[in-house]
Chains A and B, each alone.
Chain A
Amino acid sequence: MIRHILKQIWTQRRRNRWIFGELLLVFTLCWYIVDYAFVMAHNRMIPNGYDITDTWQIVYGKNVNDSTQSDFDRFLDKIRRFPGVQHVFASSDWSITPFSGSYNGDRIQRDSTSTGYYIQRKKIGTNSYFNLFNIHSITTGQPARLLLSDKYTVMLTQNLAESLFGKENPIGQTVYFDKKTYRVTDIVENQKRFDYYQPGNVVFYPDKLNDMSSPEISIRTGSNFSLEQFKEEVTSDIKSYQDIQRSQEFAWGITKEVRIRNAIMIFFLLNIALGVIGTFWFRNQTRRSEIGLRIAMGSSHRKIQNQYLLEALLILTLAAIPAIFINIAILQAELIETLGQVVNNSGYITANKWLRFLITNGMTYILLAVIVAFSAWIPARQASKVHPVEALRDE
């Protein structure tokens, strides 16, 4: 059957080459977009390392100094006593809460001479932070705990601990950053900066000063929390961290990027659909007699339809082969970037060049195959409805 269809594709090559060329081009273009979407979906599936459902950010609009400290304390107390509020955390360091725009970067080493790794520093004043955002210790499985009494202690994320210490037990070892030596007290879950990012290296260490001059307050709430009531009784300046995440992604242009890529992909796929429908519809008209003959000779309607589908899929397969070679060239020219890759040797599929290539090309093929099969099926159904007598009379 396949050999027969291949022969037919070859005899009709003059008519097929346009759709062939289009499929080839679109395969490569779609692969480029599919690869981006794959990395995006892959990254989003990695756990964030924290949990922002039912968490809210409250901005205390005023500056806090010695004279206004008591006002602020009362405000904080009011929030604490509000029904449904489970955990409260306040800090002036806006770079430590999830989806914050600011970032406090540094380099970490085992000692001042060994290899360094880029890290994000998070200075935490109270341990309620870890309860609030559900950041767990790897060793205990419980919400993580900083040793707040000793300011030269630190908790590392798991990926950072592995990069620094390999298979050694990191707890009790020392690390060097910010020109000081810190003792590792615990290992916490890997932390992502944004949903679509891969986990980066993060360190948590005690904030002795716990400055409150322009505070941001985070709360975790339970089921009996009423937002309306809170807005009325405490403050209307409250936003959920999920909203913050959304606006953050919008501001970083990722929302727009995804929309534009989707639009271009839909555009290409629509073109493919139109092209395949057009090409095969013409075939219906020009091959009516052939189809009539086939039906007259006992070919079933299903068989005619299958032949169309197979033919369309074979053209796609033939176009995919050179397209994949073009894709290899694009890959080797390093034109493919990995979205949100913070650590180079992350161990994720996205860092495995050829496995990722295989997966994304496979996905592209399946995607196009679905479109092509569906588009070919419309004229195929039409064709199989041809009455043999009608068709043969055309002769």
Chain B
Amino acid sequence: MLQQYFKQAWQLIRQNKLFSSIYVIGTALGISMVMVLAILNHIKTANIYPEYNRNKMMYAKTISMAPVDTARFKYTNSGNLSYKAARLLFMPLETPERISVMMSGSNFASLPNDDNLVNVKSRYVDTAYWEIFNFRFLSGKPFSNADFRSGLQVVVITESLAKNIFGSSEAVGKYLEYGFKPYRIVGVVKDISYVMEETYAQIWMPYTCIEDYDKEWSERGGMIGDISRVYLLAHSPSDFESIRNEVNENVHRYNAQATDWKADLMGQPDIQSVAIHRYWSNEGPDMIKIRIQNCLLIFLLLLVPALNLSGMNSTRMERRLGEMGVRKAFGASRSKLTNQVLTENLLLTGLGGLAGLLFSYLILLFTRDWILDMGRQYSSSLPEGASVDFSATMLFNGKIFLIILLVCLVMNILSALIPVYRSLRKHITDSLYIKYN
């Protein structure tokens, strides 16, 4: 039966090329916009190399310190966490499987005593970092716990940096200069796409090789500092609540003994979908507002083309009223006819969906330098030499196709159901009698 519908639908499409093409373009337009949003969201939240554990991750970025005595200190201060804050609030946690601390920086890398300086993005990490994120090592391995504890100057670099400096990716055991200090290379990893916010870098080293990584400033309880991120890897998402409770207990304990400044984590640690919206150090994201805005945007982006298609569908249904009348007169039930028309329409919508998906890839290709910053107050321009590469897993995967199918269905229902329902409600005699005027 379904096959029959499709055959019929295909005939209809071929008969009415103009209608079909306008219809397909209209659908493609609507769907492409939604798909761009869906793909962006997928890239930011799904498990993608090397951030395969995003669904089990929690993040802490900032801390806000409020003065106890507002006469002495006027303002609440906020900023990144300090090592002391991480040590007091996060490192003693027992529920998470792994806890890691990351600081980021950038400096020049080169061959020892060479003038060819490469500006690289670096991350100062610990050993747990390599277990939380699943980097693919082309050769060598992460620095060891012993290296980390003794603050050895060892680094892991990306394949492209190795090629840039040494001319080949065989770099393990060699030395390079970073910030004009020698480092021994222990591992080479596959390049990381710039879109991976937590892992994009060219060079990784133990944060223990920074001289005063645990320096405590005397102001604000020493809780504001240079740590970019604290990563907590949970055994499973069901542990999130207990991790949060544990963190809150630690904050309470700190605040109970604090005399001058009280700490506030503003709802952190965040899960992935919240963390991508946390930009400010002094307030958390208003997730309800963000969700409402996103839903409204998607609704409008689908509604406008759906209105278009509804108009076309209703005219088309009027023209086919005679056909429907005949079918009805021969005993076809209303549900059968509805099914038929919806299937026909779904075929068109599906074609539009496919075109829309391709179109959304094009949009992403041309806007990739800035589109990932969408929804952010500030934009960062690309670092020199970096390019935004979308890997196949970001663009072609089951989830994206599932979404497009869903969007097509919604579009189909939005645009065809009302016109079809209205025209089928007419009495047979009406349908048979009405001649198009």
Binding site for B on A (CB under 8 A): 14-15, 18-19, 21-22, 25-26, 29, 247, 250-253, 255-256, 259-260, 264, 267-268, 270-271, 274-275, 277-279, 281-282, 285-286
A-B contact list, 26 entries, CB within 8 Å: A15-B311, A18-B308, A19-B311, A21-B307, A22-B304, A22-B307, A25-B300, A250-B379, A250-B381, A253-B373, A253-B376, A253-B377, A256-B373, A256-B374, A259-B367, A260-B374, A267-B304, A268-B304, A274-B25, A275-B26, A275-B307, A275-B308, A279-B312, A281-B18, A281-B22, A286-B437
Q: Tell whether A274 pairs with B301 under 8 Å between CB atoms, given A18-B308, A22-B307, A251-B380.
A: no
Number of interface residues, chain B, beta carbon within 8 A: 36
Q: Complex Cα distance A277/B25, Å? A: 12
Q: Considering the chains assembled together, what is the distance between the CA atoms of A19 and B319 in angstroms?
A: 18
User: Which residues of B are found within 8 Å of A286, using beta-carbon distances?
Assistant: 315, 318-319, 436-437
Least distance between A17 CB and chain B CB atoms (Å):
8
Contact of B315 among A15, A25, A256 (CB under 8 A): A15
Contact of A18 among B23, B311, B367, B381 (CB under 8 A): B311
Within the complex, what minimum Cβ distance (angstroms) separates B273 from chain A? 21
Q: Which of A14, A271, A279 contacts B305 (CB 8 A)?
A: A271
Q: Please, which residues of chain A bring their CB within 8 A of the CB of B353?
A: none
* A26 to B304 Cα, complex, angstroms: 7
In the assembled complex, which residues on chain A have CB atoms less than 8 Å from the CB atom of B23?
278
In whole Å, how far is B256's beta carbon from the nearest beta carbon of chain A? 37
* Candidates B300, B311, B374, B381; contact of A275 at CB < 8 Å: B311
CA distance A25 to B311 in the complex (A): 14
Contacts of A251 in B (CB 8 A): 378-381
Query: Which of these, A253, A264, A267, A270, contacts B379 with CB under 8 Å?
Result: A253
Which of B300, B378, B379 has the most chain A CB within a 10 Å cutoff? B379
The 3 lowest CB-CB distance pairs between A and B, nearest first, are A18-B311, A22-B307, A275-B308
What CA separation (Å) do A361 and B29 show in the bound complex?
26
Q: Cβ of A255 and Cβ of B304 under 8 Å apart? A: no
Across-interface contacts of A29 in B (CB, < 8 A)? 300, 304
Instruction: Select from chain B the residue with minimum beta-carbon distance to A16.
Output: B311
* A interface, over-half SS: helix
User: Which of A25, A256, A267, A286 counts the most chain B CB atoms within 10 A?
Assistant: A256
B111 is an interface residue with CB less than 8 A from chain A? no
B433 CB contacts on chain A under 8 angstroms: none
B33's nearest neighbour on chain A, judged by CB, is A267
Q: Are B26 and A274 in contact (CB under 8 A)?
A: yes
Residues of B within 8 A of A18 (CB): 307-308, 310-311, 314
Chain B min CB distance to A31 (Å)? 14
Least Cβ–Cβ distance between B175 and chain A, in angstroms:
27
User: When the two chains form their complex, are residues B315 and A282 in contact, meaning their CB atoms are under 8 A apart?
Assistant: yes
Contacts of B187 in A (CB 8 A): none
- Let me know if A274 and B29 touch, CB within 8 A: yes
Instruction: List 11 additional A-B contacts (Cβ < 8 Å) besides A260-B374, A281-B19, A282-B312.
Output: A18-B311, A19-B308, A268-B304, A271-B30, A271-B304, A278-B22, A279-B312, A281-B22, A285-B319, A286-B315, A286-B318
Q: Is B303 part of the contact surface with A, judged by Cβ < 8 Å?
A: yes
